[in-house]
Amino acid sequence: MATLRNLSFAGLLGLGVLAGCSSSDRHTSSSSERRDRDVALSSGRVDVDPNTARKVPRDARVVDEGRGGTLNYSARGDGEVYLVDSSAQTVIWDAKVRDGDRVTIDPNRNRIEINGREQTRIDLKSNDRFQLYFLPTDSRDYRR
């Protein structure tokens, strides 16, 4: 009888420990982390311009995206552009732009340009998928 009581106690203790572990594991990331599409710098697999922001702001909009081809965007107002290597989930470059500036990303030539002027020298992985985001300085002026 004592053996059965000891086994029952050990079983309940084990279940309690397991239940405690699983409930604490469920809440490892905050709700704001889950809803943000912010992409952190990291990977080590891709080059990143050293002055690049760590995240794409939540209000930024995708203005062009693709794999293997050139991305283009003509700024519709002053703001900031962010280039994300979505294959590596990494922000690799950002810059301020003015209304009418032409942004061109050519992964096959490793070129990032604004108005025809090279902006940085980083190795763009031409087989990766890229997204170009735009965040207007004053979001009330944003015209898609």
> What tens digit of pLDDT does each residue of 88-134 get?
899 999 999 999 999 999 999 999 999 999 999 888 988 999 999 99
**Phi, psi (deg, nearest 5) at residue 91:** -75, 120
pLDDT at 33: 34
Question: Per-residue pLDDT for 10 more than 60?
Answer: no
Question: What's the pLDDT at 1?
Answer: 54
Lowest mean pLDDT among 18-27, 36-45, 48-57, 114-123: 18-27
Q: Are 144 and 82 in contact (CB under 8 A)?
A: no
Give the CA distances from residue 91 to residues 12, 99, 135, in Å, rounded to whole numbers and listed in that order.
48, 23, 14
Span of 18-22, 76-80, 108-112 with lowest mean pLDDT: 18-22
In this structure, the strands spanning 111-114 and 102-106 are antiparallel
Number of other CB atoms surrounding residue 24 within 10 Å = 9
Neighbours of 2 (CB within 10 A): 6
Name the band, by pLDDT with cuts 50, 70 and 90, for residue 71.
Answer: very high
Q: Which residues fall within 8 angstroms of residue 46, CB to CB, at 6 or more apart?
A: 85, 88, 90, 92, 123, 125, 128
